[in-house]
């Protein structure tokens, strides 16, 4: 945006960055799922 202090990237650079961010989101979601499963596993073991 002009005057916002943020440099606007060329369209191809924006697309590349968007793909990078989408990949990172998927990785973080997968890590979160693994951690939630582990939490459930250890919580169930602790109740015994």
Tens of pLDDT, residue by residue, the chain (48 residues):
556 667 777 889 889 999 999 999 999 999 999 999 999 999 988 876
N residues, the chain: 48
Q: Where are the alpha helices (DSSP H) in 1-48?
A: 11-47
- Tell me the C-alpha distance between 6 and 33, whole Å: 34
Domain-wise residue ranges, the chain: 12-47
For residue 7, the model assigns a pLDDT of 72
Which residues have C-beta within 8 Å of that of residue 8, sequence separation ≥ 6?
1, 2
């Amino acid at each position: 945006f002009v005057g916002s202090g943020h440099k606007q990237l060329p369209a191809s650079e924006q697309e590349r960055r968007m793909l990078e961010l989408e990949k990172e989101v998927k990785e973080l979601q997968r890590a979160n799922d693994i951690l939630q499963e582990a939490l459930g596993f250890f919580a169930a073991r602790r109740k015994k």
